[in-house]
């Protein structure tokens, strides 16, 4: 959604919040009923992150941020393998409660829990080695997504990286899902917003082995074009 007035933007966010309030705090709930893609998803992300560390020898492992973290699925099965501390950002309190009490209760690597939408989240400056955003950015308007990316740039450490893993449309159009109040953007628009926020794309990979009836999923890694300015 691009440049909406405040009334329609509020409805966009309110409708999404209402939708997720009725979703179970399970892997199936986080994946829209497609729990069968969980393992393939994590394997693809693991390969992407491993390759990124090979590509960026100076990429740190001190702290990561899991944006749109849900119940902590990605933190548990991916990020805590690489990073000493992971913060979670999620607007649904029930999901965060599940992460705290069940999914991540035995983890020694969980840092802070931020119960807020990404349109309202501001990372602490120069804090994160990696900010990981997956299957959540469709819940932001174009304007709010650009502003969020810009704040992410400030929140990264000197050699830090923004990672985006999202559905994309293959026809070049923006698809609106009325059920969960989200948009699926074409890859061209998503990459344009990343660049507008002051990033250079340094890696791009398509997720393999997903069912053919789902949207194509791409992973993007982006580094601030001028890291010393943030």
**Residues in binding site for S-adenosyl-L-methionine:** 68, 73, 118-119, 134
**Which residues define the annotated binding site?**
68, 73, 118-119, 134
- What is the residue-wise DSSP string for the chain? --S--HHHHHHHHHHHHHHHHTS-SSHHHHTTT-GGGHHHHHHHHHHHHHHHHHH-TT---SEEEEET-TTTHHHHHTGGGT-SEEEEE-S-HHHHHHIIIIISTT-S-EEEEE-S-GGG--PPTT-EEEEEEES-GGGS-HHHHHHHHHHHHHHEEEEEEEEEEEE-BSSSSPEEETTTTEEE-BHHHHHHHHHHTTEEEEEEEEPPS--TTSPPEEEEEEEESSGGG-
Tokens of residue 120, six digits: 């309202």
């Amino acid at each position: 959604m691009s440049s909406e007035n405040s009334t329609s933007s509020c409805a966009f966010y309110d409708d999404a919040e209402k939708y997720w309030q009725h979703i179970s705090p399970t892997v199936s709930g986080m994946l829209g009923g497609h729990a069968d893609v969980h393992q393939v998803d994590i394997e693809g992300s693991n390969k992407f992150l491993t390759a990124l560390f090979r590509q960026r020898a100076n990429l740190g492992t001190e702290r990561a941020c899991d944006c749109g973290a849900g119940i902590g699925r990605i933190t548990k099965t991916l990020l805590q393998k690489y990073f000493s501390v992971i913060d979670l950002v999620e607007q649904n309190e029930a999901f965060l409660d599940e992460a705290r009490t069940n999914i991540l209760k035995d983890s020694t690597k969980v840092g802070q829990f931020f119960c807020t939408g990404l349109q309202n989240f501001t990372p602490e400056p120069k804090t994160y080695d990696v900010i990981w955003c997956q299957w959540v950015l469709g819940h932001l308007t174009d304007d709010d997504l650009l502003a969020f990316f810009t704040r992410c740039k400030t929140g990264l450490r000197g050699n830090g990286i923004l990672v985006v893993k999202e559905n994309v449309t293959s026809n070049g159009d923006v698809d609106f899902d009325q059920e969960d109040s989200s948009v699926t953007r074409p890859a061209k628009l998503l990459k344009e917003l990343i660049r507008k926020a002051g990033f250079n794309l340094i890696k791009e990979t398509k997720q393999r082995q997903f069912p053919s009836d789902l949207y194509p999923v791409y992973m993007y890694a982006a580094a601030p074009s001028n890291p010393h300015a943030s």
